[in-house]
Structure 1
Amino acid sequence: MRIRHSLALPTLLCLIVACQAADNAVPNAGFEEVAGKAPKAWSLPGYDGCRFTVDETTAHTGTRSIRVDGLDPEKQNRFVQAWRVDVPLPEEGKVWFIGWAKGKDLGHGRLNVLHKDKAGKVLLNQGIGSLNGTFDWREFGQPLAQVKDAVSVQLVIGIQKSKGTIWFDDLYLGPRDVATGTLALSPSSQHTAGAILPAVFTFTVGEGGMQPGGQVALQWNNWRRSREFRILKPQVTCAAAGAKLTLTRPPRKKSWPPTPQPVDTVVKLTSDAPLPAGTEIQIPCQLRFSKHSNVTASIFGTIAAGAGRLSTRTEKILLEPQGGTATQLVCMAEPRPLVGKPGRVTVAVTDPAGNPADTFTGTVQFTPVPGMKLPASYTFTAEDTGSHDFPLVCPAGQVTRIAVQSGKLRAISNPVLPRSPEKPGIYFGDIHSHCEISGDGVGDPDQGYDYARRFHGLDFAGLSDHSPRNDKWKRVMEVGDRHNDPGRFVTVLGFEWSSGPFGHRNAYYPGAKGPEMPKLKSNMKPWFDWLAERNVEAVVIPHHTNTQAAQILASGRPAWEPCDWSVIDHRYQRLVEICQNRGSFEAPNGPDKELRILRKDVGASVQTALAMGHRLGFIGSTDTHSGRPGSGNARAAMVTMDFTRRGLWSALHDRSCYATTGSHTLVFFSVNGEPMGSELKAPADQPRRITWRAIGTSPIKRVDLLRNNQVVKSWTGTGDDMTGAFAHTARLDGTEWWYLRVLQKDTHIAWSSPIWIDPR
């Protein structure tokens, strides 16, 4: 199996083995041979923010070791600042990478192995260990993953965004035949998503038994997936006579970056007598499964059998949540179909957590509406797997909401208002979401697009993972293209670039392909210049602008900071994500419960940017990391005649779009007859005539009209379909921007993109 993240080694785990030099593939493994300032066979790194030296004052054996000093984490631009050496893979046997390390005030030491093919292409980056703190010489080790077509490996040993010092000595790469035990789970590893059930993890001690002081540990294979699962109330039992064992749970690291493979539970043998081979150590517990059926997680055991015995890993146990019983109906309809032409309504069935109830075979009935063409009922089949699209013709000139039920399950669709051919359609989707392609996301991308289309009933979606490069970027493009279905479900190609000091931005392209994120020291002006030099069509959209991360880096700075509005290029940055799952970022002086502003103001709200002169349209998108676009409190609404990738991208570029907190509210807004996103020029004495209409998914509480960030007129709600008009006759002495804010009684909000008027 491939191992994608590094193994966190707690100070408890000690790996002790004597490696035979004859088997060792590592050149100059003890660093005793030196040429100039570097050990022979190893190149001297030249990275900023750290220092690499050969140290003759400390060693595990011999007289020398190699050393890395972290000086300035902010200047450490590479993922790992490391000593590196390329080593051919031994042809036979199970290959281990083993060595010794020592640390002082260490923030984050990293040990990785890059598996390479004949051409030198990296096939897998395997994490071997993550070390921190102050500790004396400690052994680390792990068997290498078996990677097809790999002929060599590069050993990478150093630090990541860290202060402090780490030393390395006595490295070994070669065969090792160790059988120290196994791990099993009962009952099975497949259960209903969200279930909490009694479970028992059983370690069986392997050949040679376990010596006093030996220990076993449960360890997650991936930090992000592990957060979806929990081992609750673990205990330890062992039937061996006189056996005494203690159970501890190391605290999870709260600072960023997280421990890639966190240790969950450690059991140590504290009695004086050893445990013989075949002894069972059981950890009864409550095991909570992820509430999302698209998220799996692997857990494995580490077994340190005691002094003189190498610590090993067991095979992984894959935990697989399953969708539950149907408890919810979802009904979403195409909001603006052509008059007299079939639109689309999607009916889906889910469990309480929104997972597909893919075995549902019940019957749904539609409430008839005069002039509406829709089947009276439909019985789901196994082939539907919980979702079905129906052709729908709604009566012209009126708003229709489709009601559907199945037994006690009921749902009502979003409002549908047919349009004439000269009017644009309105399409709802989510273009900011993450899946397993991002290190902090979960879920298969194919499943993500399928879910967005069939269970959220979205018109479009985009997986915008974190700076995917090479094979990851290729996968992003291929999966998106596979699910793109113009006229029904459009996929939008893009990615996220996350900068600590400058804020987070997503880039979107108009077609099936586009350049991956370039490797630049700063993604602000250099990135905009890079796009312009290559004549790249792109729209760049910042998000969660007015907040910062709670996680703190080793440097003491937040993992990410507010949007830096001082550097902008309006050729590309023409929009802002005004709302997402972290709330709204419309206005300063938060929190504001009514406006869904959840975070403290840090000086970078959307209104702050507008007041600086930035002409930004609005979208909403979730920023979900669940692998399910549309899961959360935000939507982007595109107003366009062309329901294709190019058409949606042009709507973004032209600011012909608006934002909601998740509702498919219809918003129509114009100034002097021009639509949202427009830039107008007008004589100084010309009145600004505003017209609007809002059709809510629930009764409207209030509609606010804002000029230059200030409310100039409010209308109290009178139902779920409202219209209004306003004339502003004051002299136009400078630039004005106008936008509409619609607040529903169920707390959902919609914001039109602004319209700008300049004096002629």
Structure 2
Amino acid sequence: MKLSSRLLIAICMPLAGVMTMAQDAPPQGSKPDVEYAPYPELNFPNRVFFGDTHLHTSYSTDAGMFGNTLGPDAAYRFAKGETVTSSTGVPARLHRPLDFLVVADHAENLGLAPLIEESDKRLLASEWGKQVHDLTKAGKPDEAYTMWGAAVGERENPLDNSEGLMASMWQRITKAADAHNNPGLFTALIGFEWTSSPDGNNLHRVVVFRDDKPRADQIIPLSAYDSEDPEDLWRWMANYEEKVGGRVLAIPHNGNLSNGLMFDSVTFTDEKPFDRDYAERRARWEPVYEVTQIKGDGETHPLLSPNDEFADFETWDRGSFGAAKEKDMLPREYAREALKQGLAHQKKLGANPYQFGMIGSTDSHTSLATTGEDNFFGKATVAEPSADPVRFEEKITGYLPDPEGRDYAIRHYEGSASGLAAVWARENTREALWDALARREVYATTGTRPIVRVFAGFNFNEKDLGRSDFARHGYENGVPMGGELRGSDRAPTFLVRALRDPDGANLDRIQIIKGWLDSEGKTHERIYDVAVSDDRKIGADARAEKKVGNTVDPNAATYTNTIGDPFLQAYWKDPEFDGRQNAFYYVRVLEIPTPRWTTYDAKYFGLKRPKDVPASIQERAYTSPIWYNP
């Protein structure tokens, strides 16, 4: 049925009038009498983002020379949730995308494998470059890699006169980061790994920029060819900030492979006791520590924490990359002990060199940031999922002969499907995430994604756990993870909440781990169970009276959430507080037992499980500490 033009006009005119009135703006200069919206003024972190700050692609020589053909572009696409074909031809995809990623390729001859693949003319102009190129093209990449390893070991850069190579490969990496960086949705932080390895001992640091490509391109990454001394790295970082006006931080990792060097009490080159300047610089440039990753968990060790039944978790303690380990090295390798020694330095120097937050990341060399036990693509391309014995048996350490002939090899089946960095921030941007790392408002997980929050102050009470403005109240009346409390005659009070990974296992318990320095200068630690699942009781010793149980069926590689709780929370007040003593507190959250990746592998590929690793593990999270200083 057709309407006449008069009728259409009659219908439309009143509507147009209403629409015009509705869109009229209030007169300029007018202001409502009541300001209703409460949120514009709130600026505290209100979201947690999960990511990986330590992933290697084919641009790392120890990845690209061992079969990894995937560059930074593929790594970012995989992290963002796309299906990527792995270097071994297997379609791979994350169950859930990451929120952020740092491609942290080794600075030492950055991009060597792609340059060989491309037969780059600049590489071939070097006699050494042509040798490694020809060996690789002739099907002898192991011999080419041995040549490169010898050069790194001797700290003689064979491409020293070809600096344009490194700059061009660095600019490819920064280009990929900027191309994939999508503020608000996915963050690609620019970074690299400085791979200091004196005598095969791990002093590695991942360097992370707050900046974009134009600033990062003004430098060339520092490598171990330039120096193996962390103080030289800090000087390089300071020069970068002064030169370009940017911001940068470093993340140490794997003290368990440092053979006592990572948390030493003397400087690297001069072997002098720390002074205040050293302590302040280390805390300034290294605000967080990667406490868990594929090469073992670095929270603590059973010999250092004999009263901690959860201390022996994914332990790597046989040696570094160059020699077997002595027991007296252990106290200078693990995070909890370093945090305790930091209190002693604080008391003596007035500054704490080991005032660091804690994160996890993967250190995967496959370009695939996988942390799920049921989707673990391994440390290296040769150990990607398959029934090939190399998946379990590939050596990660122990290639170099120990001076005393000891076997300190650690094989791939002992590797951990770990970990992730959890960051509290307000938005998913380079600036917001980097700032959270710098202020230590972060926590580590061993690969799952529980949500953990903690506040400490002097005025919290148990009723605060139920507040609708829990976070706002926490920030206004205390400090979050990574913060500091100052002198008081009142004991600190804590509010802790933990929510399980929505696709993961229930929670077993929440613990607060305290370390302190007594009046005689001795350090101590104690573990408090502050919330436990399944209505279990906490005894007079502040520990759960019963274990949570274990529903894992190793043969089927399954578990059930019939035990544990999806959510736990706790109010806790330190019952043994002494306001004259330096102390720290961090939260450890334990999940119920679930199958280890080797158990999933055995089920899927029809293999026998390795006997000297457990069939099940308890995934966990470690928050950054909160420090108390008199």
Question: Structure 1 length as normaliser, TM-score?
Answer: 0.41
Greater helix proportion = 2
Higher strand share: 1
> Considering only CA atoms, is the larger Rg found in Structure 1 or Structure 2?
1
TM-score, normalised by the number of residues in structure 2: 0.50
Higher RCO (Cα < 8 Å, 6 or more apart) = 2
